[in-house]
C-alpha cells in the first residue's frame, strides 16, 4: 500500500502540492465559518456576559448603572436557562413517547 501511494505521488508532476494546500486551506476556512455561525446561534458573542460574575453583595463595589445592568443580565440569563431546560424536558418527553 505504501509503495503504491509513494509511486503515485512520484508520478505526479511538479507543483501538485499547491493544490493540496489550497484544498486544506479551503476546508479550514469553511470550518471557521461554520464555528462562527454556530457561536452566533448559541449566543457566544454576548458582551454583557461579564456581568454574570457579580453578586448582589457587590453593589458597593460598582456604580449604580453597572449594578443595575448586572442584575438585568443575570435575570436574562436565568430566564434563558429556564427556557433551554424546558425545551430539553419537552424533547426528552417526546423521545420517551
Does position 29 have pLDDT exceeding 80, yes or no?
yes
Q: Where are the domains of the chain?
A: 1-44, 46-97
Q: What integer pLDDT is reported at residue 82 of this predicted model?
A: 94
- pLDDT for 33: 98
- For residues 90 and 97, the answer to whether their CB atoms sit within 8 Å is no
Question: If you ran DSSP here, which 8-state letter would residue 84 be given?
Answer: H
Q: Which of 37, 66, 73 is nearest to 52 (CA)?
A: 73
What is the C-alpha to C-alpha distance for residues 93 and 28, in angstroms, rounded to an integer?
38
Residue 2 has pLDDT above 80, yes or no: no
Q: How many angstroms separate the CA atoms of 65 and 59, rounded? A: 10
| Residue 52: partners with Cβ closer than 8 Å, 6 or more residues away | 70, 73, 74, 77
Confidence of residue 37 (pLDDT cuts 50, 70, 90): very high
- For the record, the C-alpha cell of 10 comes out as 512520484
Least Cα distance to 52 among 80, 68, 74 occurs for: 74
Could you tell me the pTM of the whole model?
0.54
Amino acid at each position: 500500500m505504501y509503495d503504491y501511494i509513494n509511486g503515485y505521488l512520484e508520478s505526479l508532476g511538479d507543483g501538485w502540492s499547491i493544490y493540496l494546500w489550497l484544498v486544506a486551506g479551503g476546508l479550514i476556512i469553511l470550518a471557521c465559518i461554520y464555528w462562527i455561525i454556530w457561536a452566533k446561534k448559541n449566543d457566544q458573542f454576548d458582551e454583557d456576559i461579564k456581568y454574570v460574575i457579580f453578586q448582589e453583595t457587590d453593589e458597593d463595589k460598582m456604580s449604580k448603572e453597572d449594578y443595575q445592568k448586572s442584575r438585568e443580565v443575570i435575570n436574562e440569563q436565568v430566564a434563558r436557562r429556564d427556557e433551554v431546560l424546558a425545551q430539553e424536558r419537552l424533547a426528552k418527553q417526546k423521545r420517551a413517547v
